[in-house]
Chains A and B, each alone.
Chain A
Amino acid sequence: MDSRITEKLKILADAAKYDVSCSSSGGKRKNENKGLGNAEGMGICHSYTEDGRCVSLLKILLTNFCIYDCAYCVTRKSNDVERAAFTVQEVVDLTINFYRRNYIEGLFLSSGIFKNADYTMERLVRVAKKLRQEHKFNGYIHLKTIPGASEELIKEAGLYADRLSVNIELPSEASLQQLAPEKNYTEILLPMGSISQQLLQAKEEKKLFRSAPAFAPAGQSTQLIVGASAENDHQILQLSSQLYKSYSLKRVYYSGYVPVSSDNRLPIITEPPIIRENRIYQADWLMRFYGFDAKEIVDELHPNLELDIDPKLAWALRNRFTFPVEINTADYEMILRVPGIGVKSAKKIVSARRFTQLNFEHLRQMGVVLKRAKYFITCQTKSLQRQELDSQQIRNKILFGDGSVRSALLTQQLDLFRQVG
Chain B
Amino acid sequence: MHLYTYDGTFEGLLTVVFEAYERKSWPASIEQEQVAQPSMFGETIAVIANEQKAQRVWQGLQKKLSAGALQELYYTYLWEQPGFERIIFDYVRLVFETKENIEGNFAAPCVLQVQQAAKQVHREKHRMEAFVRFQKTADELFYATISPDFNVLPLILNHFGKRYADQRWAIYDTRRRYGAYYDLHAITFMKLELPPQQRASVPAAAMDAEEDKYRQLWQVYFDHVNIPERKNPKLHLRHIPRRYWKYLSEKQPQVLR
Contact = CB atoms under 8 A, between A and B. Distances in A.
Interface string A84-102: 0000000000100110111
A49 B136 contact: no
Interface in B188-221: 210, 212-218, 220-221
Contacts of B240: 47-48
Contacts of A31: 162-163, 165
B239 A50 contact: no
Interface stretch (A36-44, A201-209, A228-236, A305-313): A36-44
Contacts of B108: 355
A355 B104 contact: yes
Contact of B106 (A3, A100, A351): A351
Contacts of A355: 102, 104-105, 107-108
B214 A97 contact: yes
B112 A365 contact: yes
Nearest to B184: A34
A98 B224 contact: no
How many interface residues does chain A have, given as a range? 35 or more
Nearest to A15: B224
A6 B257 contact: yes
B220 A36 contact: no
A348 interface: yes
A83 interface: no
A49 B227 contact: yes
Interface string B145-171: 000000000000000001111110000
**Could you say which of A30, A37, A48, A100 has the most chain B C-beta atoms within 10 Å of its C-beta?**
A48
B53 interface: no
B144 interface: yes
Given A31-B165, A49-B227, A366-B112, A1 B218 contact: no
A44 B106 CA distance: 29
Nearest to A354: B104
B231 A101 contact: no
Interface in B85-112: 102, 104-108, 112
Interface in A290-344: none
A17 B225 contact: yes
A144 interface: no
Given A46-B131, A351-B104, A51 B236 contact: yes
B212 A1 contact: yes
A118 to B, nearest CB: 28
A52 B163 contact: no
B139 interface: no
Interface in A361-388: 362, 365-366
**Could you say which of B106, B166, B233, B234 has the most chain A C-beta atoms within 10 Å of its C-beta?**
B106
Given A49-B236, A100-B136, A356-B107, A37 B163 contact: yes
B133 A101 contact: yes
A353 to B, nearest CB: 8
B250 A47 contact: yes
Contacts of B164: 36-37, 100
Interface stretch (A53-61, A148-156, A395-403): A53-61
B165 A272 contact: no
**Could you say which of B104, B144, B224 has the most chain A C-beta atoms within 10 Å of its C-beta?**
B224
Given A50-B231, A409-B232, 12 more contacts: A2-B213, A6-B216, A9-B221, A13-B224, A49-B222, A52-B238, A94-B217, A100-B142, A101-B136, A103-B218, A352-B107, A366-B106
Interface of B: 102, 104-108, 112, 126, 129-136, 142, 144, 162-167, 210, 212-218, 220-222, 224-236, 238-240, 248, 250, 257
29 contacts: A1-B216, A6-B257, A9-B221, A13-B221, A17-B224, A30-B162, A31-B162, A44-B129, A45-B239, A46-B131, A47-B248, A47-B250, A50-B228, A50-B231, A50-B232, A50-B233, A51-B228, A52-B232, A55-B225, A98-B214, A100-B136, A100-B167, A101-B136, A102-B134, A258-B227, A259-B229, A355-B105, A366-B106, A409-B232
Q: Top 7 closest A-B pairs, CB basis?
A: A52-B235, A351-B104, A51-B230, A49-B226, A352-B106, A48-B239, A13-B224
